[in-house]
Amino acid sequence: MAKILRVNMAQRNIIEEEVPEQLALLGGRGLTSTMILDEVPPGCHALGPNNKLIFAPGVVTGSAAASSGRISVGSKSPLTGGIKESNAGTPVATMLGRLRIKAIVVEGDPAPEGWWLLRVTSDSAELLPADDLDGAITSKVNEVLLERYGNRVGIVTVGPAGEQRMAMAGICFSDAEGRASRYAGRGGLGAVMGAKRLKAIVVDPQGAPGVEIKDQPLFRKGGRKLLDALQTHAVTKPGGTLNTYGTDALVNVMSEAGGLPTRNFARGNFEGANKIGGETLAETIAKRGGKGLSGHACHQGCVIKCSNIFPMEDGSEHVSVVEYESAWALGANCEIDDLDDVAEMIRLCNEYGVDTIEAGVAIGVAMEAGVVPFGDGKGAIKLLNEMGEGTPLGHIIGNGAAFTGRAFGVVRVPTVKGQAMPAYEPRAVKGMGITYATSPMGADHTAGYTVAQEILGIGGSEDALAVEGKADLSRSSQAASAFIDTFDYCLFIAFAILDIDTGLEGMVESINGVLGTEYTTADIDRIGMEVLRTERRFNELAGFTSADDRLPEFMTYEPLPPHNVVAGVSEAELDSVFA
Amino acid sequence: MTDAGESITIEVALFATLRKYHPAGSDKGPVWMDVPEGTTVGGLLDILGIPAQQAKMAFISSRQGEDDRVIRDGERVAIFPPIAGG
Ligand code: SF4
């Protein structure tokens, strides 16, 4: 039987619950968002006693379904004040799926002193003192816990930023080799974990019964169809572009398209793009050799393998993973074009436990204010270290781009609902702007990735600079993302199944095989929309209105080079998305 | 294509798996090259020997361009294979 673990940090006890019927068919984002709406008072303080932090693997996670080792984390966000789901690819997800743990709910008001560790095995769950990990960076936590519990366990942790409750703190999950590198980064969930005084979770998969599968033949049939699609599509197949160059191949694409936010969103192309893009990244990894690796899998069971391990000049390991969002945020957005400086900044974000997107955008805003000059890699590294040390300046930046903007009186602050925009300029990619503005998550590219159609020609082809039809494209993309995040396939399977119909069918058949349901592809939009409505309901009760579904004002009057266009999406169009 | 012998000079940038099609001696950065006036994006692919199905995206001076888009003197043409990420 699947179960829910309720971890009460006030009483320091753990209760095992059966899964109520209305949650039985949900997992991942659908489950966390439903439980947050049901159990968390929308008006509560995100760092206070009434907020909860919920970890939930997807419905198919832990099964043999390809690229499905993802875990969703849900809560009220200390960054946006609204509902939050952020997910990561990690063996921790598959372990929880195989242990049939549908959710871990962390709740209650902890004593103000001391740190705790939650240890979960196939037949027990306990809270143990973790004061020895006080202040530890994430790699240290993993080193200590792998040593203590054996290297087969999965680890979840927060770094010093989460302990200090900074609003850009993320939650760090171990990767396939136990590295502290996979993040549910967005929205400050690490600060919630820190506020609960939970430093880490250790998951031991030994003796796990495995995911219950209602209809094995159907599950296998669907799995094969999805696998075929993934192994055929030019983007997702072995030796395909994701596998060879990683997501970082997008740096050159977006710069050439004039939609790569550069110099704190002052322009849409970056002269140094090629120096930090996927081609140079793959070349550098190959040339330096040693521990470097392209085509790394974040968890066993991924067939796409878009991750990497970036080496130092001498071939020793520097950091995993240099991906598009991180290389853009800490690179182009700060006009930094030195790949080694960018790698070092990613490493520091991983160690202190912060979201690379929010960090890069907050530093960009600080650069705009003249705290350090644009292009100054060493200066940016120093700012990250201030965060790790918890200096007053570190706290300002650590609380995110919007907070940094207010602290320094900056007008050009690229956030929606207080969350930093990712690596697509909304003025140059109109549908993406609509997603940023209207997603219940705040500015988030994964919430509705219209870039696929608008720039990449996947799942259709649209003019990126045209507004017409984009409200609908954004809405359907948001629904599809909410669906995929509920079953917790990696979102990157979308590139194959948008183009290959049998892959899409295969995904739905795999899900039916696990659940015993009779969903069709037509249910994707319906189920996704239900999740979105749940999330929007929470935000509404928390005080959000249509005035929060807006892009920052400067984008409405500041033309973006090289296209020299403003946002150009009317309020009526934005309000039509979920009307 | 025009029948006259006029030529124009354009900047060509090839990315990811298409880098190997760069004209000799320029396998990395963008390169300036002469092409007949009236050359389209599709025509440029032929000139460079890039199989049409390998080229997924073209941006001409930052604007998306289809195969029949005529390239003008001095423009930059960036060509990519299928790429995606997040
Ligand atoms: S495609 Fe990349 S992010 Fe997705 S599961 Fe595979 S390695 Fe992880």
Question: Complex ipTM, two decimals?
Answer: 0.95
d(CA A308, CA A298): 9
With contact defined as beta carbons under 8 Å apart, do A428 and A464 qualify?
yes
Is B7-80 in CATH node 3.10.20.30? yes
Q: B34 has which bridge partners?
A: B9
- Could A241 and B83 be called an inter-chain contact, meaning their C-beta atoms sit closer than 8 Å? yes
Which residues have C-beta atoms less than 6 Å from ligand 1? A 67, 89, 297-298, 302, 304-307, 490, 492
C-alpha of residue A468 to centroid of ligand 1, in Å: 33
A3-203, what's its fold? Aldehyde Ferredoxin Oxidoreductase;  A, domain 1 (3.60.9)
In one-letter notation, the amino acid at residue A107 is E
Structure tokens at A324: 């598009």
CA distance B7 to chain A (A): 24
With contact defined as beta carbons under 8 Å apart, do A2 and A498 qualify?
no
Q: Digits of tens for pLDDT over chain A (579 positions)?
A: 799 999 999 999 999 999 999 999 999 999 999 999 999 999 999 999 999 999 999 999 999 999 999 999 999 999 999 999 999 999 999 999 999 999 999 999 999 999 999 999 999 999 999 999 999 999 999 999 999 999 999 999 999 999 999 999 999 999 999 999 999 999 999 999 999 999 999 999 999 999 999 999 999 999 999 999 999 999 999 999 999 999 999 999 999 999 999 999 999 999 999 999 999 999 999 999 999 999 999 999 999 999 999 999 999 999 999 999 999 999 999 999 999 999 999 999 999 999 999 999 999 999 999 999 999 999 999 999 999 999 999 999 999 999 999 999 999 999 999 999 999 999 999 999 999 999 999 999 999 999 999 999 999 999 999 999 999 999 999 999 999 999 999 999 999 999 999 999 999 999 999 999 999 999 999 999 999 999 999 999 999 999 999 999 999 999 999 999 999 999 999 999 999
- Could A325 and B86 be called an inter-chain contact, meaning their C-beta atoms sit closer than 8 Å? yes
Domains of chain A by residue range: 3-203, 244-425
Comparing CA positions, the residue from A229, A239, A351, A368 lying closest to residue A306 is A239
Counted across chains A and B, CB pairs separated by less than 8 A come out at: 90
Is A244-425 in CATH node 1.10.569.10? yes
DSSP H/E element including A125: strand A125-129
Q: B9 has which bridge partners?
A: B34
Count Cα neighbours of A386 within 13 Å in the Cβ-side half-sphere.
Answer: 19
d(CA A476, CA A523): 12
pTM of the model: 0.98
Name the residue in chain A with its Cα closest to that of B57: A456
- Could B84 and A456 be called an inter-chain contact, meaning their C-beta atoms sit closer than 8 Å? yes
Name the residue in chain A with its Cα closest to that of B54: A234
Q: Considering only CB atoms, which residues of chain A are within 8 Å of chain B?
A: 233-235, 240-242, 244-250, 252-253, 256-258, 268-269, 274, 277-279, 306, 323-325, 445-446, 449, 452, 455-458, 463-464, 491-492, 495, 562-563
Domains of chain B by residue range: 7-80
Is A3-203's fold the same as A244-425's?
no
Residue with the two structure tokens 């299928």: B82
- Could B62 and A269 be called an inter-chain contact, meaning their C-beta atoms sit closer than 8 Å? yes
Nearest atom of ligand 1 to the alpha carbon of A493:
1
d(CA A192, CA A28): 18
In one-letter notation, the amino acid at residue A430 is K
Closest Cβ–Cβ partner in B16, B63, B85 for A247 = B85
Mode of pairing for the β-strands spanning B76-80 and B7-14: parallel
Mode of pairing for the β-strands spanning A70-76 and A83-89: antiparallel
In one-letter notation, the amino acid at residue B77 is V
- Distance between alpha carbon B20 and the CA centroid of its chain, in Å? 13
Q: Which residues have a Cβ under 8 Å from the Cβ of A283 and sit 6 or more positions away?
A: none
Q: Which residues have a Cβ under 8 Å from the Cβ of A459 and sit 6 or more positions away?
A: A452, A453, A494, A498, A499
Nearest atom of ligand 1 to the alpha carbon of A305:
7
Strands annotated E in B1-86: 7-14, 31-36, 57-60, 63-64, 76-80
Would you call A126 helix, strand, or coil by DSSP? strand
C-alpha of residue A305 to centroid of ligand 1, in Å: 5
- Could B62 and A563 be called an inter-chain contact, meaning their C-beta atoms sit closer than 8 Å? yes
